[in-house]
């Protein structure tokens, strides 16, 4: 029986990894859904194993006949290194994922086989060719597969106890056409969905593990609102049958605020957070990048509508649009305070290959070339219009530090606490109450980390900040305190990440203390 080893490389640091917290929980944030799906697409005549480098170092002497490697752009450097090691050992290397799909020319020669596009058809085709010794070096899927035929992931090949979240993908595609986004280039405009009962079956498998939170890994969970309503109603029904219900997080667009039924269903289904690409409060920049989902509404009121239900927003922000100048950074900061967006994910605008923004920057001769196509989060890969790349990077880092500073966070927290609707939070979802029993250990561990960071190991400014935040949050009772704990976990992780960015640039921030070693606290709860 031939042995296939699938590898998720360790990525470069990003704000998504929440490294400042998850490493002290001795876990990784989320398991590799793509590899678990590839494993499910592999015939049973093969022996398949999955190695996640976020958890364990790679054993390059693992007996195998084929190594499959996947990754995004922030994995790319490590993907090349891993392939080189296995090729030296005479092992066939196969690479796939969004980076390979967008950069197939750059990847040619670094791997033996490239799998470009969605894999439901071409992975089995490659394996069949490999069996007969007729495999090609390049496979490209030009069609968009029917997700009804996409199998449930092989979660049995991973130890889900070692992850904070797990994931389920219900759809691919997005009906919008933002200039900077590569989702449409990868998956198309037409929304494609898994059958709802297939999704419930996947959730049921995860419910039987230690996982208490699930990330719906859709680029736009409400791309088809009718489907989203039906799915949410079914999730509510399923969750109500559980003694210890699950909770959920996903990505969607701000126009959900215009559909109160959908918002109420999200709350009833036990969604605690959503990622939304806010991008910018500047209308000119939204028009420029064709961010239609944010254009035709009062964004401040839309955000308040979501927050009022006790669902917090992880907000994507971007700086570097052609309409942006040096005044934009102050505008972003003020907008965050006014809206209570306490978990922002700021980034410099980048032009991913395959997007309309890349095409425009190439046409205007504004792309910045780099040998490995990998840019740090503070870097930009094109020349901005109204500032230099260095000005953009420096002001971005200053923005990131300030929005995760004590004063700014407290002002935003005051807004979100006021936005919590007393009527809404006075009657919490029965599912959310029961979920606390399921997630009690993790909540207790996170609470101890927060107390250790701000009260025990922190100096007087950290303690003062913590107790000020506590006084604000307690105004909304248990709902306010639960929200505060979630936001402080993000606050800790992002301050750790900011320190990493500054170190990357060779800068020393005297006022930034390193995150304390919280491993003893994690050990005490084992």
Interstrand relation of 166-168 and 171-172 (parallel, antiparallel or unpaired): unpaired
CA distance 249 to 494: 19
Q: What integer pLDDT is reported at residue 394 of this predicted model? A: 95
The full set of domain ranges for the chain reads: 3-140, 425-524
Helix (H) or strand (E) holding 216: strand 213-216
Scan for tokens 């086989």, then name that residue: 113
Strand partners, 277: 316
Residue 145 has pLDDT above 80, yes or no: yes
Q: What is the mean pLDDT of the chain?
A: 92
Q: What integer pLDDT is reported at residue 248 of this predicted model? A: 98
Residue 414 has pLDDT above 60, yes or no: yes
Instruction: Give the model confidence (pLDDT) of 321-376 as tens digits.
Output: 999 999 999 999 999 999 999 999 999 999 999 999 999 999 999 999 864 556 77
Residue 334 in contact with residue 164, Cβ under 8 Å? no
N residues, the chain: 526
Q: Which residue has the higher pLDDT, 22 or 207?
A: 207
Q: What integer pLDDT is reported at residue 423 of this predicted model? A: 79
Instruction: Give the model confidence (pLDDT) of 34-47 as tens digits.
Output: 999 999 999 999 99
CA distance 172 to 190: 8
pLDDT-derived band of residue 437, with 50, 70 and 90 as boundaries? low
Q: What percent of the chain has pLDDT over 70?
A: 93
Contacts of residue 340, Cβ cutoff 8 Å, sequence gap at least 6? 303, 304, 307, 412, 413, 414, 415, 416, 417, 418, 419
Q: What integer pLDDT is reported at residue 428 of this predicted model? A: 59
What Å distances lie between residue 354 and 17, 99, 102, 340, CA to CA?
25, 11, 6, 34
Residue 306 in contact with residue 257, Cβ under 8 Å? yes
Can you tell me whether residue 126 is helix, strand or coil?
Answer: helix
Q: Average pLDDT, stretch 196-225?
A: 96
pLDDT-derived band of residue 438, with 50, 70 and 90 as boundaries? low
481 C-beta neighbours (distance < 10 Å), count: 13
Q: What integer pLDDT is reported at residue 510 of this predicted model? A: 32
Q: What is the pTM of this model?
A: 0.92
Scan for tokens 């296995």, then name that residue: 86
Residue 133 has pLDDT above 90, yes or no: yes
Instruction: Give the model confidence (pLDDT) of 60-106 as tens digits.
Output: 999 999 999 999 999 999 999 999 999 999 999 999 999 999 999 99
Q: What integer pLDDT is reported at residue 520 of this predicted model? A: 38
Q: Which CATH number fits domain 3-140: 3.20.20.150, 3.40.50.280, 1.20.120.1200, 3.40.50.300?
A: 3.40.50.280
pLDDT-derived band of residue 522, with 50, 70 and 90 as boundaries? very low
DSSP class of 411: H
Instruction: Give the model confidence (pLDDT) of 371-409 as tens digits.
Output: 455 677 888 999 999 999 999 999 999 999 999 999 999
């Amino acid at each position: 029986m031939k042995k296939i080893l699938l590898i998720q490389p360790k990525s470069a640091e990003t704000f998504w990894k929440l490294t400042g917290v998850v490493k002290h929980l001795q876990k990784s944030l989320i398991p590799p859904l793509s590899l678990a799906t590839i494993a499910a697409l592999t015939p049973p005549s093969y022996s398949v194993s999955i190695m996640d480098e976020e958890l364990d170092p790679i054993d390059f002497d693992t007996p195998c006949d084929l190594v499959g490697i996947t990754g995004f752009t922030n994995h790319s450097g490590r993907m090349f290194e891993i392939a080189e090691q296995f090729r030296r050992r005479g092992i066939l290397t196969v690479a796939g994922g969004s980076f390979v799909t967008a950069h197939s020319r750059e990847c040619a020669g670094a791997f033996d086989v490239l799998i470009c596009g969605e894999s439901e058809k071409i992975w089995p085709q490659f394996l069949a060719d490999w069996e007969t010794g007729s495999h090609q070096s390049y496979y490209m899927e030009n069609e968009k597969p029917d997700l009804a035929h996409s199998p449930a992931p092989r979660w049995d090949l991973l130890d889900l106890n070692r992850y904070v979240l797990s994931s389920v993908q219900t759809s691919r595609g997005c009906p919008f056409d933002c200039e900077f986004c590569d989702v449409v280039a990868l998956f198309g405009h037409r929304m494609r969905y898994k059958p709802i009962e297939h999704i419930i079956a996947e959730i049921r498998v995860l419910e039987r593990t230690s996982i208490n939170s699930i990330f719906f890994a859709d680029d736009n969970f409400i791309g088809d609102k009718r489907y989203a309503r039906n799915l949410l109603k079914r999730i509510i029904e399923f969750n109500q049958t559980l003694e210890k219900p699950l909770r959920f997080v996903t990505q969607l667009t701000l126009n959900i605020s215009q559909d109160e039924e959908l918002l109420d269903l999200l709350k009833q289904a036990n969604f605690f957070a959503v990622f939304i690409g806010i991008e910018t409060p500047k209308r000119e920049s939204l028009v420029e990048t064709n961010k239609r989902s944010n254009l035709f509404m009062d964004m401040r009121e839309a955000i308040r509508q979501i927050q009022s239900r006790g669902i917090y927003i992880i907000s994507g922000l971007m700086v570097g649009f052609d309409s942006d100048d040096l005044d934009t950074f102050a505008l972003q900061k003020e907008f965050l305070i006014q809206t209570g967006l306490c978990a922002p994910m700021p980034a410099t605008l980048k032009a991913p290959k395959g997007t309309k923004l890349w095409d425009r920057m190439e046409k205007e001769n504004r792309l910045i070339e780099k040998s490995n196509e990998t840019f740090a989060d503070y870097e930009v890969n094109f020349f901005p219009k109204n500032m230099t790349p260095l000005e953009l990077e420096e002001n971005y880092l200053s923005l990131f530090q300030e929005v995760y500073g004590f004063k700014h966070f407290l002002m935003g927290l005051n807004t979100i606490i006021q936005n919590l609707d007393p009527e809404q939070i006075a009657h919490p979802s029965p599912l959310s109450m029961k979920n606390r029993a399921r997630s009690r250990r993790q909540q207790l561990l996170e609470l101890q980390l927060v107390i250790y960071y701000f009260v025990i190991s922190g100096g007087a400014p950290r303690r003062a900040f913590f107790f000020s935040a506590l006084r604000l949050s307690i105004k909304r009772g248990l709902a306010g305190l639960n929200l505060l704990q979630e936001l402080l976990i993000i606050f800790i992780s992002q301050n750790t990440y900011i320190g990493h960015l500054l170190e990357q640039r060779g800068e020393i921030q005297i006022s930034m203390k390193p995150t304390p070693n919280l491993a003893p606290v994690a050990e005490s709860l084992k």
